[in-house]
Amino acid sequence: MGLFPWSKSFGVVLFLVLVSPVSGIGANWGTQSTHRLPPEIVVRMLRENGIRKVKLFDADYDTLKALGKAGPELEVMVGIPNDMLSTMGSLKAAEKWVSKNVSVHISNNNVNIRYVAVGNEPYLTTYNGTYLRTTLPAMQNVQTALIKAGLGNKVKVTCPLNADVYESSSGLPSGGDFRADIHGFVSQLVKFLSDNGCPFTINIYPFISLYIDPNFPVEYAFFDGNATPLNDGGTTYTNMFDANHDTLVWALQKNGFGNVPIIIGEIGWPTDGDRNANAQLAQRFNQGFMQHISEGKGTPMRPGPIDAYLFSLIDEDAKSIQPGNFERHWGIFTYDGLPKYSLNLGTTNSGSLVQAKNVKYLERKWCVFKPNAKVDDPQIAPSMSYACGLGDCTSLGYGTSCGGLDARGNISYAFNSYYQINNQLDDACKFQGLGTVTKSDPSTGTCRYGLMIEPYYGGAERQLGYTRMALALLFFLWTIL
């Protein structure tokens, strides 16, 4: 796709809605975490940061109830996961889902639900067509169910798509069109959106372009105006976002849908897990994007305010790392609600992010490699492999926040990750006698050794199940070694 593969190559999770200055800012709130912040704490954090829109990837009851307490000032997008698309092929199932996850929350819990995201990047190339034939029928049935429930004018259907659904034959925005192999499917989906007054939601990721192509012009990913301009028939593009966005606009126009509203479903920059993923570049990108859209100028092909969701609100340590180790580090906040860097959303008096309040941590203790243990111990390799497999070692490696640790530091980091995720249980720091508990924080420099927050018991079944599974496997592994 030439210079424009600007897409997030794998589906995910969480994002900030940056609509017009009048509409306010929102956030994509993902929950693929071993220890979630309680919904009430996150909702307060959203409000204190002036974030007025939130996008979810499901319709979790506790989350929606907490959002309802914030009142109508917080607009909500709920989601239907891809694995439910075939089920939504039944109108009866769609009606039941809308009744349980939309109608009840609007009428009983005062939740201001405005959108239902049916699927998440279902046309992604890597899904090999799995959801091509189930996405549109699901959208149609959910739309019908919303109308039957009397919500057709209040709640709109959409479907977040990856930017790989379009491409440019010329390498310029004006060459944009829907990808040839799925052209018919995308056209039908857009016609449905157009007919029903629903927005086209697209996810755009300059970081991914840099990640997959070492020759990508780095400056073009940012908004500083330092990149060599791209000339498209007299129209100049100085950043990838505008060019990618307008590639979509051209694709829509060529297929007769030039007036369909566009929402940027996900856009952001990760802070760890890759040499180009750090707080400095994330701050540069996100602040640049905020400044870019705050002016309300839009793009050359779509002047006016841009409706966009920055990805994401909070780090998620249980996300799949198949796309890359950076997947767990998209948040502008850490897993425990601490701002990662200075970011002015234009919504607070201080001009900076406000951290989560009343976060409860486990006891201040960490699991580390025993000082008298030897780094050539044959049990270290299987122990490290196990700890990282069921913990989170994505901050270890070249160019990462903990990339400067020595061998002992790496082992300690892995042990501690597993220990914290398992709620600091004594048995989670044994590692064949290689681990020991310390009350001295081993964090150093840019490397933060996690201290886990208390489990959120609203989601206790899933979280405690994870712990039991991990420990059971640990005991099994130790018995066969």
Picking from 438, 257, 262, 289, the residue whose alpha carbon sits closest to that of residue 365 is 438
Burial of 406 (0-12, 13-18, 19+ CB in 10 A): exposed
Give dist(CA 98, CA 153) in Å, integer: 14
Query: For residues 281 and 298, is the Cβ–Cβ distance under 8 A?
Result: no
Residue 473 has pLDDT above 90, yes or no: no
Per-residue confidence (pLDDT) for residue 309, from 0 to 100: 86
Query: For residues 205 and 270, is the Cβ–Cβ distance under 8 A?
Result: no
Per-residue confidence (pLDDT) for residue 2, from 0 to 100: 37
Give dist(CA 341, CA 96) in Å, integer: 43
- Residue 459: count other Cβ atoms within 10 Å of its Cβ: 18
Per-residue confidence (pLDDT) for residue 471, from 0 to 100: 47
- Summarize pLDDT for 435-453 with one digit per residue, the tens: 999 999 999 999 999 999 9
Give dist(CA 473, CA 295) in Å, integer: 54
The stretch 85-102 carries a mean pLDDT of: 98
Task: Name the pLDDT band for 351 (thresholds 50, 70, 90).
Answer: confident
Residue 154 has pLDDT above 80, yes or no: yes
Single-letter code of the amino acid located at 187: S
Give dist(CA 446, CA 250) in Å, integer: 43
Annotation marks residue 121 as catalytic: yes
Give dist(CA 433, CA 427) in Å, integer: 10
Q: Which fold has domain 26-333?
A: TIM Barrel (3.20.20)
Q: What is the mean pLDDT of the chain?
A: 90
Query: For residues 146 and 138, is the Cβ–Cβ distance under 8 A?
Result: no
Residue 399 has pLDDT above 90, yes or no: yes
Give dist(CA 66, CA 138) in Å, integer: 27
Reduce the DSSP state of residue 101 to 3 states and report it.
helix
Q: Percent of the chain having pLDDT more than 70?
A: 90
The upper half-sphere exposure of residue 222, i.e. CA atoms within 13 Å in the direction of its Cβ, equals 16
- Summarize pLDDT for 164-217 with one digit per residue, the tens: 999 999 999 999 999 999 999 999 999 999 999 999 999 999 999 999 998 999
Per-residue confidence (pLDDT) for residue 24, from 0 to 100: 56
Per-residue confidence (pLDDT) for residue 39, from 0 to 100: 97
Give dist(CA 103, CA 109) in Å, integer: 10
The upper half-sphere exposure of residue 422, i.e. CA atoms within 13 Å in the direction of its Cβ, equals 26
Query: For residues 58 and 78, is the Cβ–Cβ distance under 8 A?
Result: yes
Task: Name the pLDDT band for 110 (thresholds 50, 70, 90).
Answer: very high
Give dist(CA 331, CA 14) in Å, integer: 8
Both structure tokens of 358: 């009343």
Both structure tokens of 441: 């924080």
Task: Name the pLDDT band for 26 (thresholds 50, 70, 90).
Answer: confident
Per-residue confidence (pLDDT) for residue 308, from 0 to 100: 84
Annotation marks residue 461 as catalytic: no
Per-residue confidence (pLDDT) for residue 476, from 0 to 100: 41
Query: For residues 13 and 309, is the Cβ–Cβ distance under 8 A?
Result: no
- In the set 121, 167, 316, 327, the catalytic residue is 121
Give dist(CA 38, CA 336) in Å, integer: 10
Residue 470 has pLDDT above 90, yes or no: no
Per-residue confidence (pLDDT) for residue 25, from 0 to 100: 65
The stretch 23-46 carries a mean pLDDT of: 89
Q: Which residues contact 399 (CB under 8 A, 6 or more apart)?
A: 274, 275, 276, 278
For 88-120, letters b (16+ CB in 10 Å) and e give: bbeeebbbebbeebbbebbeeeebbbebbbbbb
Residue 256 has pLDDT above 50, yes or no: yes
Per-residue confidence (pLDDT) for residue 103, from 0 to 100: 98
- In the set 75, 95, 266, 316, the catalytic residue is 266
Give dist(CA 157, CA 135) in Å, integer: 12
Q: Are strands 262-267 and 307-310 parallel, antiparallel or unpaired?
A: parallel
The CATH 3.20.20.80 portion of the chain extends over: 26-333
- Summarize pLDDT for 296-326 with one digit per residue, the tens: 889 999 999 998 888 999 999 999 999 999 9
Q: What is the DSSP letter of 172?
A: S
Residue 475 has pLDDT above 90, yes or no: no
Task: Name the pLDDT band for 348 (thresholds 50, 70, 90).
Answer: confident
Single-letter code of the amino acid located at 23: S
